[in-house]
């Protein structure tokens, strides 16, 4: 039976435990496993393979409409694995507005990778951007923190002309709102710390791929060789959390629309970045997403002191990095998540000292709007 998404998140990856009938899969904490004879085993060593991780990876593959999934100890370890997958001394094309940690890895750690950053909102002469040693196109949509929406199908069509894979960071959308593999992308990467985990108590990452034996074997090798894998307990927590992904995302989506509408009409807000507000981005989002998500950014019509006054007076929005939890969070990208980016690049991108990013939680939206309203009145 072909299952719909809301059923997949609950019933994929496992059934009742075969030995005990337990409805939820047990947590297998063992670091090593008995072999029937030397070399005859299903499980050998927990870094290589673990029953709790197996359940999670099967679940992730199902909800992303992929063939195979790989779980990691963080989103960055997943991205690092993608980089290692393609070897060394090569070139990539990357959307210009991406998570600060992604830029930090590309620019300051992977010194043997040449990166061309492109604004996908502009007309691009791809013949000028693609090089002989280009290995893939990396996109993040919606983007962090400016919420740019990139047309995934169009990017895939362009990439196919150059026989290049498209890799999409789907963290901000979650598979509830967007499934890049269904749109033609070759690989989807997520920080499972965020919406997949949903409770700000797990750090993790994932790679999900379409059917590709070469990619699967290489990623599995790197996953084992490097060992940046999640613990069995984190795998259990994430499996449990994903079961409520649909109901959580539905509320995130609804609350974010209401909050964005409030901010759009507030005299002290200069600009709002949200997929549902910008006409061009909204058209693309409506084509490839089932909802706009719970993330947005906005510019306060003030200076850094006014921004700090606003932040100090918030009660429900917690000043903290990360996103995607049930609670509402707010952060200052230029000082926090994107501080590692060169100031001149931040300025060019529009990541100013008056830009704030919020992760709209699932609290009562009237309370969230009241909190924003009273804090803005203090400026």
Catalytic residue, chosen from 8, 68, 179, 194, is: 194
CA distances from 92 to 82, 112, 120, 278 (A): 12, 11, 15, 28
Residue 57 contacts by C-beta under 8 Å, 6 or more apart in sequence?
A: 13, 68, 69, 70, 71, 206
Could you report how far apart the first and last alpha carbons of the chain are, in Å?
A: 56
Beta-sheet strands, E only, within the chain? 68-72, 90-95, 113-118, 134-140, 166-169, 187-190, 205-209, 269-273, 295-300, 318-319, 329-331, 355-359
Residue 185 in contact with residue 207, Cβ under 8 Å? no
Angle between helices 75-85 and 213-226 (to 10 degrees): 120
**194 annotated active-site:** yes
Annotation marks residue 104 as catalytic? no
Report whether 318 contacts 330 (CB < 8 A).
yes
Active-site residue, 121 included:
no
* From 54, 96, 97, 169, active-site residue: 169
Q: Give counts: helices (H), strands (E), the chain.
A: 14, 12
Count the neighbouring beta carbons within 10 Å of the beta carbon of residue 225.
11
Catalytic residue flag (residue 110): no
On whether the CB atoms of residues 217 and 321 are closer than 8 A, the answer is no
Among the listed residues 54, 96, 99, 110, the single catalytic one is 99
* Cβ contact 96:349 at 8 Å: yes
Pairing of strands 68-72, 113-118: unpaired
Query: What residues are annotated to the active site?
Result: 47, 99, 169, 194
């Amino acid at each position: 039976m072909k299952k719909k998404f809301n059923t997949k998140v609950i019933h994929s990856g496992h059934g009742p435990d075969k030995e005990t009938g337990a409805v939820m899969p047990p947590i297998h904490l063992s670091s090593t496993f008995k072999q029937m004879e030397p070399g005859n085993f299903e499980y050998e060593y927990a870094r290589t393979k673990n029953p709790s991780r197996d359940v999670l990876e099967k679940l992730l593959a199902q909800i992303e409409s992929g063939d195979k999934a790989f779980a990691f100890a963080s989103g960055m370890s997943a991205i690092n694995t993608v980089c290692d997958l393609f070897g060394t001394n090569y070139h990539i094309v990357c959307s210009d507005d991406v998570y600060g940690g992604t830029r930090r890895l590309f620019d300051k750690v992977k010194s043997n990778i040449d990166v061309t950053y492109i604004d996908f909102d502009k007309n691009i002469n791809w013949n000028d951007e693609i090089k002989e040693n280009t290995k893939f196109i990396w996109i993040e949509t919606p983007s962090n923190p400016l919420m740019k929406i990139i047309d995934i199908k169009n990017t895939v069509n362009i990439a196919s002309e150059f026989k290049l894979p498209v890799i999409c960071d789907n963290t901000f959308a979650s598979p509830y709102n967007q499934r890049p593999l269904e749109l033609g992308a070759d690989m989807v990467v997520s920080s499972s710390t965020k919406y997949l985990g949903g409770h700000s108590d797990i750090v993790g990452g994932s790679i999900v791929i379409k059917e590709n034996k070469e990619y699967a074997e290489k990623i599995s090798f790197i996953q084992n060789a490097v060992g940046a894998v999640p613990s069995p307990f984190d795998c259990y927590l994430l499996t449990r959390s994903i079961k409520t992904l649909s109901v959580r995302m539905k509320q995130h989506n609804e609350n974010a629309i209401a909050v964005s509408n409030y901010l759009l009409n507030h005299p002290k807000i200069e600009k709002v970045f949200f997929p549902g507000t910008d006409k061009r981005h909204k058209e693309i989002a409506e084509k490839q997403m089932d909802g706009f998500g719970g993330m947005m950014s906005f510019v306060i019509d003030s200076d850094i002191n006014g921004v700090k006054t606003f932040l100090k007076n918030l009660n429900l929005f917690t000043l903290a990095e990360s996103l995607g939890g049930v609670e509402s969070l707010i952060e200052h990208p230029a000082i926090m998540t994107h501080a590692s980016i060169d100031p001149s690049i931040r300025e060019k991108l529009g990541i100013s000292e008056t830009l704030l990013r919020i992760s709209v939680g699932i609290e009562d939206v009237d309370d969230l709007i009241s909190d924003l309203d009273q804090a803005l009145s203090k400026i």
